[in-house]
Structure formats: structure tokens, C-alpha cells
Amino acid sequence: MKKSVVLMGMLSAMLLTSAHANFLKKPSKCPTMASIKQVGIQHARQSEVGSDWVAWSNNNYNTNDLWMFIIISIEAKNESNALQKAQKMLPKFQHVGGPPIPEDDAYSCLYTTPMPQEKYAIAITPPLITSTLMKRLSMKYTPSY
């Protein structure tokens, strides 16, 4: 569980901007995987740095808030392949982080798949625009010297 909390912080910090969560209404709950599976994954885009893909959907997922559910680090040949792989991964994800944790200007929830090929996803509210999402995700690949 400690690993999940640390990972939640790292993923959230990577995705979010610098305003304060105090201005946001705290969501009552994280989206359930059942709700996320019903919606599925609708968008994919190649990372601006590296060759992996990111896939996401925006929905309220049976909550009172609009969320963006994002699967990161998908190895795929193209957009269609990334969407196909993301859909195939969905049943394996489990919610591990919540209730929602405030990070800067949004709340986030963490989801993972079982080991040994652990994958990560995050639900974030309010959703990020695509260009902000890609910039935040590309920070992951920027080496620090």
C-alpha cells in the first residue's frame, strides 16, 4: 500500500499544474472500474518523448464530477493498436488509491494491474486538456543530469 501511495503522488505530480486544490470541490468518490469499463477508452496519442502511447477517456463515471481516466506507457505500433491494447487492459485494473487525493489543481485516483507486468492508470478531476496532458507525461521521460 505504501508503494501505491508513493506512486500516486509521483503520477499526480507528473500530470498536474501549479494552482491549489483548495479552490476545487472535493469529489465524493473515485470512479469505479465497473463504470470506467462501461465507457471504455476513446482516445490515444503517442508520447511526445519516447515511443509509448497514452490512452484516455473523459466521463463522469457515475459520479458527480467529470473525470479523465488515463492509461500510461502503452507499447503500441499506432493509435488503433494503442486503443486496442488499452481496451484489453481495462478488465485487469484495480483501484488502489483513494479516496481522492488533492494534488495542486486537481484530485486523482490511482489504478494498477497485477504484477509482474504492472501497468498504471490515473483518474483525474477536472480533466486536463490533451496538450497539457502530453506535456505532463513527457516530463516523465526527461532525463535529469
Q: How far apart are the C-alpha atoms of 96 and 40, rounded to whole Å?
A: 19
Question: CA 95 to CA 139: how far, in whole Å?
Answer: 24
Judge whether 19 and 104 are in contact, CB under 8 Å.
yes
> In angstroms, rounded to a whole number, what is the distance separating the alpha carbons of residues 25 and 105?
11
- pLDDT tens digits for range 77-95: 999 999 999 999 999 999 9
**Higher model confidence: residue 18 or residue 57?**
57
pLDDT of residue 61: 96
